[in-house]
Amino acid sequence: MPTTDHERESGLTRGDLARATGRNIETIRHYEKTGLLHDPPRTDAGYRIYSAAHARRLRFILRARDLGARVEDIRGLLGLEDGTAPTCSEVKKRTERHLADVRARISDLRRIEAVLRATAARCTGAAVPDCPVLRSLAGPAV
């Protein structure tokens, strides 16, 4: 049911929501299209009006993305709030899987850091055409 223009004054426009969350309007549109953020009601004039619940949900989505959660995992986590997730146990399992993924990425990043540090240490930084960093990236000679 559309809201009245008077009710619009008590809600947030998409621009207001973007400013309140520190993100841009396209981000909000994206999460609406993916179904993570519910469509807001509209005024008689067709303006979208977001509630405090929309802002809380968007902040949850953004925080989960900042922590590296995949969209499907976020959908599952939001399911608990929406009443479609079975239990908190499922949320814990998803969180533990994500933690394992994060730990694996950290391990990979540490290996990458070691290779880059060693490669950079071999480079003098001189203005010469033969650069150890470039040689290292090119791989072994064939």
- pLDDT given at position 6: 44
Cβ(65)–Cβ(74) below 8 Å: yes
Is residue 116 included in any domain, yes or no? no
The verdict on residue 23 lying in a domain is yes
Domain membership of residue 21 (yes or no) is yes
Taking the CB of residue 115, how many other CB atoms lie within 10 A of it?
Answer: 10
Residue 99 domain flag: no
Domain count, the chain: 1
In a domain, 110, yes or no: no
What's the CATH number where 55 sits?
1.10.1660.10
The reply to whether the predicted model has a pTM over 0.85 is: no
| Tens digit of each residue's pLDDT (9 = 90 or more) over 4-38 | 444 445 699 999 999 999 999 999 999 999 999 99
- Domain membership flag for residue 94: no
Domain ranges, residue 16: 1-67
How many other CB atoms are there within 10 angstroms of residue 51's CB atom?
A: 15
